[in-house]
């Protein structure tokens, strides 16, 4: 029978992992961590509609892509500094913290001025120079699991962050698998294993992990049931008109119910009694 943190250290097959700082690090979050906002920050008008709803729902961090890694180069996700700055200012004026994905090590200073936390996207999970630089920051750094990364590779990348001053937060965002009913396949097992082995918080991102808006609610709940400390949800005032990831955009007016259901599940979770 495997017990908590001994799981990987006792195994005799595969890579022999070494991530002492990840194992030792303790998460700071004792409440449900909720990160919500649009896939992309699109316009002043969209910002003005979204921000008040995020504030009303008491979320922890507003998310919104301002410089994104498009799967295809024809998608124009170039940085629009004026819009990024407007988004950041609008959130902060309402005491809403901002998390932004950072793609490029050369832009750390610029993004540092706009955001209260950094996000390393799935495609950059193993961009080690970027991780080393971000680890110097005192801000939280979200690390998304690459769609092909094993638990060992995920925690190895997290170790780069955990050796620094930042507070790493892991994110499960799905793998590429044989399944074709969803864009990616969410690994709740990854979440449960991380919780057994480490003190680092991990979030479920059911939006990216599934790519389908109708799966966001059930798979947010399954990720939380597996032990996630919170969740990320992409939301849009008019989901079908979302300029990126429209298929997974969750209706902004459904956010309150999603959060209420998540909080109920977290209450229920307190009473669970796993034997090992
Ligand atoms: C995102 O969160 O906007 C994003 C691009 O996610 P991922 O890196 O998981 O694809
Ligand atoms: Mn997205």
Closest CA to 201 of 22, 64, 17: 22
Ligand 1 mean position, distance from CA 245 (Å): 10
> Please, which pLDDT band fits residue 7 given cuts at 50, 70 and 90?
low
- Mean pLDDT of the chain, nearest integer: 92
Nearest atom, ligand 1, residue 208 CA? 9
CA dihedral of residues 43, 87, 39, 215 (deg, nearest 10): -110
First vs last C-alpha separation in the chain: 8
Ligand of minimum distance to the alpha carbon of 68? 1
The pLDDT tens digits of the residues spanning 86-133 come to: 999 999 999 999 999 999 999 999 999 999 999 999 999 999 999 999
Q: Whose CA is nearest to atom 5 of ligand 1?
A: 121
- List alpha helices for the chain, DSSP H: 6-9, 20-24, 44-56, 81-93, 108-114, 128-135, 151-162, 188-197, 206-210, 213-225, 255-269
Ligand 1 mean position, distance from CA 201 (Å): 18
State pTM to two decimals: 0.94
The pLDDT tens digits of the residues spanning 257-273 come to: 999 999 999 999 999 99
Ligand 1 mean position, distance from CA 184 (Å): 12
Nearest atom, ligand 1, residue 205 CA? 9
- Counts of helices then strands in the chain (DSSP H, E): 11, 9
pLDDT at 181: 98
Ligand 2 mean position, distance from CA 186 (Å): 15
Nearest atom, ligand 1, residue 173 CA? 9
Structure tokens at 177: 């698998």
Residue 114: CA atoms inside 13 Å, Cβ hemisphere, count?
Answer: 28
Query: Which residues form the pocket of ligand 1, taking CB atoms under 6 Å from any ligand atom?
Result: 39, 65, 68, 101, 121-123, 144, 173, 208
The pLDDT tens digits of the residues spanning 39-92 come to: 999 999 999 999 999 999 999 999 999 998 777 877 667 889 999 999 999 999
Ligand 2 mean position, distance from CA 39 (Å): 4
SS3 state at 110 = helix
Q: Whose CA is nearest to atom 9 of ligand 1?
A: 122
Measure the CA–CA gap between 27 and 55, rounded to whole angstroms. Answer: 24
The pLDDT tens digits of the residues spanning 164-195 come to: 999 999 999 999 999 999 999 999 999 999 99
pLDDT at 6: 56
CA dihedral of residues 21, 24, 28, 31 (deg, nearest 10): 120
Residue that has been written with the tokens 């209706």 in this structure: 251
């Amino acid at each position: 029978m495997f017990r908590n943190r001994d799981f990987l250290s006792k195994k005799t097959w595969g890579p022999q992992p070494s991530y002492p700082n990840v194992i030792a690090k303790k998460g700071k979050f004792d409440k449900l961590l909720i990160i919500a906002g649009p896939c992309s920050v699109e316009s002043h008008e969209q910002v003005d509609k979204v921000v008040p709803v995020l504030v009303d729902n008491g979320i922890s961090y507003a998310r919104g892509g301002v410089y994104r890694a498009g799967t295809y180069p024809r998608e124009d996700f170039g940085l629009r500094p004026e819009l990024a700055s407007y988004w950041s200012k609008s959130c902060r004026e309402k005491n809403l913290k901002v998390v932004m994905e950072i793609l490029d090590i050369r832009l750390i200073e610029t993004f540092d001025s706009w955001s209260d936390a950094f996000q390393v996207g799935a495609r950059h999970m193993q961009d080690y120079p970027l991780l080393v630089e971000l680890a110097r920051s005192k801000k939280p750094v979200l690390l998304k699991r690459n769609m092909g990364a094993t638990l060992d590779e995920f925690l190895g990348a997290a170790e780069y962050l955990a050796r620094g001053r930042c507070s790493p937060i892991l994110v499960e965002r799905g793998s590429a698998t044989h399944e074709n009913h969803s864009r990616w396949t969410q690994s709740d097992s990854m979440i449960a294993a991380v919780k057994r082995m480490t003190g680092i918080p991990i979030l479920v991102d059911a939006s990216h992990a599934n790519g389908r808006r109708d799966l966001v609610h059930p798979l947010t709940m399954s990720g939380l049931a597996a032990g996630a400390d919170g969740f990320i949800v992409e939301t849009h005032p008019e989901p079908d008109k979302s300029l990126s990831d429209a298929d997974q955009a969750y209706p902004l007016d459904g956010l309150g119910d999603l959060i209420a259901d998540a909080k109920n599940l977290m209450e229920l979770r307190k009473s669970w009694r796993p034997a090992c």
